[in-house]
Amino acid sequence: MTLLGDSITAGFGLPSAEALPVRLEEALRAKGFRVRVRGAGVSGDTTGGGLARVGYSVQDDTDLCIVALGGNDMLQGVDPKTVRSNLEAIIASLKARDIPVLLAGMKAPPQYGAYAVEFDRIFADLARKEDVPTYPFLLEGVALDRRYNQPDGIHPNAEGVRIIADGLAPVVVKALSR
């Protein structure tokens, strides 16, 4: 399994043993799954960057690729049409290689107005259109909660990563069973 993403999946600001790939693997093993979760997160990456590297960042023997990109696009104000197009191309690239996809969504803060509405629709729309499972919001239960974030207010701390892994694990189990 591979986590294709950005700083959240790369474990920005955390020891490697507390990064999301490690914590997700632990959560899955606790559910009886013998899996290896490869981290393919690059801090600062956008959907465009993920598209540029999906061919070499996701190995051919991957039994599921969790695509967790979009947060940096949103922070940079990238046009949602571009984000959608990049994610579609990433999914198409993985499907062409017979690699199943789980799309992890991202949400824009409500103060982003119309941009937030258009951006937030991307993930559910694509999951439906491409018939791939989705985890609606990667940072569910963690975003904007100081208890679970590093001082920058964006990147989860170790406890935040644990919450993400625990929330994501059942969706991954279901996706692996498809």
pLDDT tens, residue by residue, 25-59: 999 999 999 999 999 999 999 999 999 999 999 99
List pLDDT tens digits, range 125-144: 999 999 999 999 999 999 99
Quick check: is 155 catalytic? yes
Residue 142: exposed, middle, or buried by beta-carbon count in 10 A (0-12, 13-18, 19+)? buried
Nearest of 156, 169, 166 to residue 10 by alpha carbon: 156
Quick check: is 63 catalytic? no
Quick check: is 73 catalytic? no
pLDDT of residue 177: 87
pLDDT tier, 80 (very low <50, low <70, confident <90, very high otherwise): very high
- Which whole number is the average pLDDT over 111-133? 96
Judge whether 69 and 126 are in contact, CB under 8 Å: no
Determine which one of 60, 61, 98, 152 is catalytic: 152
Determine which one of 6, 7, 57, 73 is catalytic: 7
Name the DSSP letter for residue 177.
Answer: T
Give how far Cα 175 sits from Cα of 37, 69, 134, 165, Å. Answer: 14, 18, 9, 15
Determine which one of 57, 73, 120, 155 is catalytic: 155
